[in-house]
Amino acid sequence: MTPDELEDQLGDPRDPGNPLGFAAIVAADERALDFVAGQRALAGFDLLTDGLVPVSGVIDGVAGRVEALELLRTVYRRDPRLGTRITAPGDQLARLGAAVGALDTGLRTTLRHAGTRRLYGRTVLDLPYIRASLATVFVDLLICDAVATCPVPPPLVAEVVQVLARRLTLAMRELSVILGARFYVREGEHAIFGKLLRDVEVICRSAGPITGSSQPAAGTAITVAACLSVWRASQDPFLSEPTWLHAALARIEAGPRWRPTGPVAGWLVGELLTRHAELRSFGLTRRCLPG
């Protein structure tokens, strides 16, 4: 099964009439019930026997990891809790790498909010601080994707897990600040964000405690190497451009203090808006999405 085939089966998650969409997921979550419709849909495809899970243990090569993670992200970008039913127990790299899909939905939801809500006579998206925050989260997502798909020597798995858990948590919290009061709304198109944030934080906590206030040296080296590898190998017009790489390296070095400014922030937000309009994922693959 391919990620596109699974996307077609699950349908547009923003369609309120979709029994496998966000409205149905939130409704089940509000009643503290398992998302049975989703479980049945996944059972029909029998993902666990497709040889795609666990990601870090069975799949060889970068291409195989990318395909496996994209399949899992198709589920995680809708319901991370449902995804952990199909990810091999104990495979923290797979869960955290798949959680990039949840961050994608969180960023997409926040971008839509910022583009439609008006403040001080203009949209929230027009405010420089908001644009810088959205660009920062976009860079964090690209960094996480690069790290999740790079080969990791077994002795360094713990460091990579720390990298992903820390960055995913900070990115989702950044988005919650942009949403403001809308973060607490449990109906409409923003309702899914609260569940995504909670699920991602549970996944990140289950990966172990995040120690210290900064990234371990080994984790920093792996993160830099992963981003450099993507930039060198990519033929994508955006990823082969050094601007995003410089932004990623600056984010890695400066940590939470870093924010893009001026033309760099505008360039990153422009890419976000283009992908959003074209219904493409915000990750390295720029994969087409149903909604």
More confident: 185 or 285: 285
Of the ranges 26-40, 74-88, 179-193, which one carries the lowest mean pLDDT score?
179-193
Distance, first Cα to last Cα, the chain: 20
For the cut 60, the answer to whether the pLDDT of residue 60 exceeds it is no
- Work out the angle between the directed axes of helices 217-233 and 128-149 (0-180°, nearest 10): 90
**pTM > 0.85:** yes
pLDDT at 165: 95
Read off the pLDDT band of 53 (50, 70, 90): very low
- Please report, for residues 63, 65, 111, 268, the alpha-carbon distance to residue 246 in angstroms, rounded to integers and kept in the order given: 25, 25, 23, 12
Report phi then psi at 258, rounded to 5. -80, 135
| Cβ atoms of 190 and 179 closer than 8 Å | yes
Is the per-residue pLDDT at 2 higher than 90? no
pLDDT at 50: 46
Q: Percent of the chain at pLDDT above 70?
A: 88
Q: Give the mean pLDDT of 155-161.
A: 90
Tokens at residue 139, please?
A: 């860079």
Answer whether residue 88 shows pLDDT above 80.
no
Range from 101-105, 127-131, 150-154, 261-265 carrying the lowest mean pLDDT = 150-154
The Cβ of residue 214 has, within 10 Å, a number of other Cβ atoms equal to: 11
Residue 237 CB contacts under 8 Å (≥ 6 apart), including other chains: none
Distance (Å, whole) CA 191 – CA 76: 16
* Structure confidence by residue, pLDDT tens digits, 64-77: 778 888 999 999 99
Asked if residue 213 has pLDDT above 80, the reply is no
pLDDT at residue 262 is higher than 50: yes
Distances (CA, A) of 278 to 130, 142, 283: 22, 18, 14
Q: Does domain 3-277 have CATH number 1.20.140.10?
A: yes
d(CA 75, CA 42): 9
* pLDDT computed for residue 43 by the predictor: 81
Tokens of 55: 């990601």
Q: How far apart are CA 130 and CA 177, in angstroms?
A: 10
Task: From residue 23, give the alpha-carbon distance in Å to each of 26, 27, 75, 260.
Answer: 5, 6, 15, 34
In the chain, where are the structural domains located?
Answer: 3-277
| Predicted local confidence at residue 140, as pLDDT | 98
Q: What is the pLDDT of residues 27-41, one digit of tens each?
A: 999 999 999 999 998
pLDDT in the model for residue 182: 66
Q: CA-to-CA distance for 73 and 82, rounded, in angstroms? A: 11
Mean per-residue pLDDT of the chain? 88
Nearest to 36 by CA among 81, 100, 6: 81
Q: How many residues does the chain have?
A: 291
Q: Is the CB of residue 132 less than 8 Å from the CB of residue 124?
A: no
Using alpha carbons, select from 133, 172, 150 the residue that is nearest to residue 230: 150
